[in-house]
Amino acid sequence: MAVTACVMPTSTGLKRYYVADTSAELPTTSPAADGDIGYVKNIDTFMAFNGTSWSGGLSLTSTSYVPFESSAASMVRVAPASVLALSSWTALNGASGTELPDGSFYLGTAAAAADSIKAYVRTAAADPYSETFAMIPNMLKIDYCSHGAIFRESATGKLMTLTNFTGSISVDRWTGYTAYASTAINLLDIDCTPRWFRIRNSGATLYFDISAIGSNWVTIHSEAEGSFFTTRPDQIGFFVNANNATWGAATCVTYYKRA
């Protein structure tokens, strides 16, 4: 068998990483375990083991990174293979996105002299829930281009955004796409801009989390769901906002998960 393996510690215990010539050579019995990762040479692809079988995968030549997880039922792998197409999201305020060949979502907006949030949303899940995004910004480090994750109350048009300006991150309240209301928290001068954004609703409290790697989350703000919203947010999504008369803003969503 032309397969090698190494064992490495992770946040959830020891995991095995296999390298095989073909997918048929990846083991399906002990010591292989749920969460193990395999790289298959002949198809240049990573695969994940769910305890029963291997599935994949992510090519080394792909421009997007998607971590493997065993909870396949709740997993939406935006890249490299899109399970939830962009057509399953609702565009707001003239948002015009593109589903790229690798399955990731690109959303851009032209230069604008004032706030004008462009967003894609979908109906929120039943409480409690969390929505996780990995997003790569394509914008200059200037005032006030931004992107991030969003809560929306469709009946009132109110929004709360987990907002990433290049170099800072904040949680902001809006009474509409162009109507900024207030900022709950603003963290300035962040040298390593977070690429992972998670918004959560416990059924009573909204949480706004950030991460550099998709784990070890840090909650930067929480508040009662009725503190700003008239009742509660019923939609979630992602957005861009230029607010710069010279330069536009764009983002690429490379990962999305609902839990």
User: Is it the case that residue 55 has pLDDT exceeding 50?
Assistant: yes
- Whether residue 69 is contained in a domain is answered as no
**26 lies in the same domain as 128:** no
**111 lies in the same domain as 238:** yes
- The tally of domains found in the chain comes to 2
Structural domain containing residue 231: 86-258
- Whether residue 227 is contained in a domain is answered as yes
**107 lies in the same domain as 156:** yes
**96 lies in the same domain as 57:** no
- Whether residue 252 is contained in a domain is answered as yes
- Whether residue 72 is contained in a domain is answered as no
- Whether residue 172 is contained in a domain is answered as yes
- Whether residue 40 is contained in a domain is answered as yes
- pLDDT score recorded for residue 8: 54
Could you tell me the pTM of the whole model? 0.70
* Span 161-165, average pLDDT: 92
pLDDT tens-place string over residues 96-129: 998 876 677 889 999 889 999 999 999 999 999 9
ω into residue 233 within 30 of 0, thus cis? no
**54 lies in the same domain as 99:** no
pLDDT tens-place string over residues 133-146: 988 888 766 678 89
**109 lies in the same domain as 213:** yes
- Whether residue 67 is contained in a domain is answered as no
**18 lies in the same domain as 145:** no
**57 lies in the same domain as 90:** no
Residues, the chain, total? 259
